[in-house]
Structure 1
């Protein structure tokens, strides 16, 4: 009852349906057709048929747009995935055209990531670098690297290595690299064909010596190699194939210079960069390296080719504030270097 009026909703609905029953029926059919198209129940035959050939591991389960394959496909964009029983998965988005055949090869995919906890570190230590070396992932911790001022330092100043903690994560677990830590990061180790390559920098004990220190390398021959160094060393790192060693030294202008030291004890200068070198990113075969250097609020990426001849060029200058710890996401393509830069537009 509303204001002494009785409203019969069932009678009102019956009159509406009776009066516009054909319109309601047509609208219902249209809505059902649209829902069927959106759900993929009704195939888009007007696009034309297309053929997709997928090659994957025999035991892989293949889905196209979330539905089992093989089945009839039509032109348009599709998402194809292949998943192995152990959880490895690979996927791709493809564009099919009417009347054409597309062959797609899907790799086995990556295994399920394994999460491992970092060992406890000293107070005020934070992750400074993460890089791939010697068949494992190395994590270096230092005291507040982002809070340290990256300013030019005189070339003749005595080196004061910051305390570091380096841990290698491999298939056999985690290992603390005490040799690298004992030399304040001015050392490196690499296992190659069953032998251990080791390089350490030792500052000169006598101030009257002409050299500021020496670089000792073991594993390149039957006896260890000693190479005099005249400048203040800031970096020591083997190439992935162990054929050479990169050494960083401070320059009179306050920047750093990278040199290549080979097993023949010959040093070849590569490039000098302003500011401080924060990290290196090697090509897997050791033929090139990307040098991350920071001067004030600018972070530069310098690409250095080491073989067949030495050449270097700065490929990017970025805002250092956008990359914590100077960790720039990058990867190597067969003949290209790809990196991620924030959109500042």
Structure 2
């Protein structure tokens, strides 16, 4: 998987801690007087001793405090909203800043018992996250693990069939309620660059990460709106019905196409839909499907597309 978020840069002092996480171990410093230390340093802040040793601990602890961040701490974290920022008090008494996984914001309570989750990232970094002791969340998030598949990726099931010539039945599909989410895909910088080369739109806000970090209001590069729209073909919408009785489907284009919010490079997107209208046309049945593409975790869509299809 692509990874666009900041990663740690170990120093000579902190390297054993990060090496421990790579081995799926939590390691802390302890001085000769028995005091535990965190963050890593050259001397004990309690007694001043420089006789420090790295020791493996369980990593278990309790939730000391937390914040549910509904505005991303960096643009690259847009697809992780809300961020569950936490301070964990380990059983050894030290405090570690982390994020919670496998828990809903409404379930979080100060004092809950927590266990470590080792989040492997592409390259050589492993991050330490936490989840509830009783959670069924895995203890390791592998770097090559795919994001959770949505209902669209579930085993195939028999869908109700609707004849396109049965206008009342087709109009019964119209709804204000959106479908479940599709699968999710990552909009990488490589993908953005390829689209820029193909389309000729190589404006720096899309293709120059360093300049975008300095000058862009988004703090990072963003995908072209047209690219995000085109990626719809890679998102498998969880259809709740099957239209039958037609010889051909014509894509009539869009009644409305809007790009309300940007998609930062490296974020994941998914989509959902609703049937907006069904009309009898001269040559068949015209269906307008509103498709909304969102950055994962964001309420506001990045693309709104009222796609018009003619069943003939």
TM-score, length-normalised on structure 2? 0.22
Task: Give the helix-richer structure, 1 or 2.
Answer: 2
Does 1 or 2 have the higher relative contact order (CA < 8 Å, sep 6+)? 2
Larger radius of gyration: 1
Task: Give the strand-richer structure, 1 or 2.
Answer: 1
TM-score, length-normalised on structure 1? 0.21
